[in-house]
Structures are given as C-alpha cells and as structure tokens.
Amino acid sequence: MSRVENTAENRAESSPTADTARHLMFDDLEKLGRILVQTGDMAHSFIQSADDMDVTCRDFSAFDPSRALPRQGRGTLDALRAVQDDILPLLAASIGPRYLGFVTGGTTPAALVGDWLASAIDQNATGPEGSVNAAVEEQVINWLCEIANLPANRFDGVLTTGATVSNLLGLVAGRQWCGEKVGVDIDADGAGALPDLQLFAASPHASMIKDMSIAGIGRNNFTKIVTLPGSEQTDIDDLKAKLDASDARGKIVIASAGTVNATDFDDLNAIADLCATYGAWLHVDAAFGMFAALDDRRAHLLAGLERADSITSDGHKWLNVPYDCGIFLTRHIGVLEKCCRAFAPYLETRADGNMYINRGVENSRRFRALPLWVSMQAYGRDGFAGIVRANCDQAADLAAWVKSHDKLELMRDPKLNVTMFTGVGSDDDNRALLDRINASGKLFLTPTIYGGRFGFRAAFSNWRTRDHDLVIIKQAIDFVL
C-alpha cells in the first residue's frame, strides 16, 4: 500500500462521522419539500398564536446553554422537533400586537416571504456581478426616498444591519467630509489628523453614543446642547451659541426626527441653516420618525429633512420587515464610498451597478433588500401609511385613557406612536408596577426616565395591533393596579 493510500485510509478511519454528517445533508435535500412544509406549519402556528400567548417569557431555566454539542446529528426533522420542544415555548411574542417595548415592528406576510426567499437563494449582496441583487437594493433605496419625500437624484445610500451601523456611517462620512474641507484625509491618515473635530447633540440615541466609542471619538466627547423646556427637542439658540463659540475645524451636528421617548422632532430647517453658516455636517437620526412622512397629519414634522447630509432610519421598525434591516441615506455618496471601499483582486468587476460592499461595514451582506422589495410591492405606499396612521391613533387613544385614570399619570402627550406614562406612586412603586404589568403576559412595556421620573413606554409599531388589543392592554393594567 502506498504512503498516500495509507494516509487516506487512516484519515477515513479517524473521522468516520464526517461522511455520515455529509450524507445527512444530502438526505435532507431529498426530503426538503417535507422539511419546508413542516417548517412552514411550525412558523404558521407560532404566528397565529402570537395574539394569545404570553407576550414575553420570564423563565428560561428549562433551557440549558451549557449542554454539549452533539457529536452526531440526526437531520433537520429531528432538529425541528428540538426547536418545537426546547425553544419555541420560551420565546417572546414580539411579532404580536401587544409587544410595546423598544420600537419593535412585527413581520408582515409579504416581508416574511421575502425574508425566507432571501435565505433560500442566499445571495451575497455585495454588488452587481452576476446577480440582480444590487439593482433591487437600488430600487428599494429609491422607493424609500420617495416615501420620505426626499429627492432620489440627490440622495443615495445602503441597507445596513440597523440604526447603530447607519449612525456609525453618518459619523464616519461626516468626519471624512469635515477633514476634506480643511485638506485632511482621515480615511488615509486616521482620526488623529483632525483632533479638533467637535460633535453637537441635544438628545442623541444610545446607539449614537455607542458609535462615538466605536469611531474613536469617545462616548463623552460631544458638546451637549440644551433641550427646550419639557421636551427632547434641540434649543436652536443654544446650538447657535455653541457653534459660534467653537473654533474646531470640523463640526458635526446630530439632530433627531422622532426621539425615542417623547418622539420629538427637531426644527431641521433651522438647524440646517446653522450648519450651512458654520460649515457643519448635519446628521439626522430618523430611525422610525422618517416614516411620519406617510401620515399627512404629521408629515410637516419632517420639514427640512431633505437638507440633511446623512439620515439614519430602520426597516425593522415601522416598515415591519424582519430583523435586521437598517437604512442609511446621504447626499455625499462619494464620501461614504471612500470611507468604506474594499480592495482585493477578487472583488474587481466590470458589471454596471452599485458596489454596496463599498458603502457599509460588512463585506459579506445578506440580501436584506428582498423582504423590503416584496413588502413594498405587495402593499404599496398606502399600506405602510395605514400602519403609521393606526399606530399613532393607538398611542393617542392610550394617552387619553391614562389622562382619565385616577391611578396613572401621562408624562407627555404623544406626538407620534409612543405613549409615556407612570403611576401616581414613587419610582420604586412604579418599578414594581411595571414588573406586575409585564408579568401579566398580556402586554410588554419598557421602562424610561423622563423629566427625572421613572415611567413606562408603550411604543405602537406593529401592523397587527387593533382596537381590541387596546381593550386588553387597558384591562391588564387596571387588573394589576
């Protein structure tokens, strides 16, 4: 026996399970129709039960994360049974109509179809080489601009993993733009080439503070702008005074179009005027507020958005597509592409179209444009407008009920889709009250601090929430008071 033959024989003897595992995969391929049917049935059952199941799971002790990986698998049908037994009973019904925490959308049927297809066809959506995926993303971005009343001939962008990455892109592109204005190339020479970059923000989202750390700016290294009394809105006079006092060569102003608590909108035209005067980059965090443009009663809140240099938004909030789907738009796509470009011989292409690998953090990219495309194609502008209008009305309805309640206090009239309220007791009393509300299993709220007081946030973002859910919500709160 030759040395090569002996080595191959020894290798086969030392890993007898490798061919078995590979056989299981081909066996699953032959059974794929049955597997997909069972997966569909399981998903359908979970979706249909989300109206009635406990909104969150509060005891995960039945799941042991330290369990060892099995040496040999038993195929996908067996794994599906394990999912059914070990995981599904312990999940949150975050797709359901009474999950009011954070700003969480559900998943429309069309978006689910698009997401499943995105997994099945498994395109690496880096660019136009050999696939239509880049053209689909380009069309989706154009449609998003249309929804937000932004001129598509001035704005371009990229789909990201979420608002955190989109905000990061705003910082990175803004810093590069500031450097280029004074003859500094931060992309080439690093952030130290512009040490006097100054950020101005009144109510930056937690993701933006995180991004300041990631970008090397520093979590505490921004100039805090005063907010207007009783709001999270930027005080324009204070912003002007601090811009005027600044001698920094680079300036970035972070504005909000829908803050996460009070859903306040900055005066974007006034801020854009200041940015023009002082040579500052204007980044607008519109993670969910951008879609207020779909409600003709609230579209005026976004006046001036088209003057932003960069904009953050999310699809997995009010557009109700699955996680994850962030949106980044900018009037300076060339600056973004300079900061994010990737060089390698295997990436070269002569195909026409946008290279999205050069517009974001990831080199490998999920085809997240497809769920958006299918959903937009299925429901159109009016379908999404219906979600936005209904959710805003639901927030107003809950606020009116809180106002009339003798044991609850409204912390702020909702401008959009978030109702902030609290109990009449102490902060400790209200922390305990929130625990009782969430323990009921009928709804889920997240905590907040507003005006120095502890309170609750009810964020209406789901297409499935209807009038009868408001009845259940109110009854559940009343029951634990």
**What percent of the chain has a predicted confidence (pLDDT) above 70?**
96
CA–CA distances in Å: residue 91 to residues 63, 139, 258, 392: 11, 35, 29, 27
pLDDT over 50 (residue 304):
yes
pLDDT over 90 (residue 9):
no
* Mean per-residue pLDDT of the chain: 95
The whole-number pLDDT of residue 68 equals 96
pTM higher than 0.85: yes
What is the DSSP-derived secondary structure letter of residue 193? G
* Average confidence (pLDDT) over 430-450: 97
The whole-number pLDDT of residue 21 equals 66
Cα 71–chain centre separation: 37
The whole-number pLDDT of residue 18 equals 65
Cα 314–chain centre separation: 4
Q: Where are the domains of the chain?
A: 111-376
Per residue in 108-132, pLDDT (tens digit) is 999 999 999 999 999 999 999 999 9
Per residue in 167-191, pLDDT (tens digit) is 999 999 999 999 999 999 999 999 9
The whole-number pLDDT of residue 3 equals 40
pLDDT over 90 (residue 8):
no
Please give the single-letter amino acid code of residue 307: R
Question: For residue 85, what are its two tokens?
Answer: 């037994």
The whole-number pLDDT of residue 152 equals 87
pLDDT over 70 (residue 7):
no
Question: For residue 427, what are its two tokens?
Answer: 């902060």
Confidence tier at 16 by pLDDT (50, 70, 90)? low
Confidence tier at 5 by pLDDT (50, 70, 90)? very low
* Average confidence (pLDDT) over 44-58: 95
Confidence tier at 421 by pLDDT (50, 70, 90)? very high
Number of residues in the chain: 481
Q: Please name the CATH architecture into which domain 111-376 falls.
A: 3-Layer(aba) Sandwich (3.40)
- Asked if 294 and 384 touch (Cβ cutoff 8 Å), the reply is yes
CA–CA distances in Å: residue 276 to residues 214, 223, 280, 382, 412: 27, 19, 7, 35, 33
pLDDT over 80 (residue 157):
yes
pLDDT over 80 (residue 231):
yes
The whole-number pLDDT of residue 179 equals 98
pLDDT over 50 (residue 46):
yes
Q: Among 294, 330, 341, 289, which residue's Cα sits nearest to residue 313?
A: 289
Question: For residue 248, what are its two tokens?
Answer: 């920094």
17-25, Cβ contacts within 8 angstroms, sequence gap of 24 or more: 17/71, 17/72, 20/72, 21/72, 21/73, 24/73, 24/74, 24/75
The whole-number pLDDT of residue 442 equals 97
What is the DSSP-derived secondary structure letter of residue 88? G
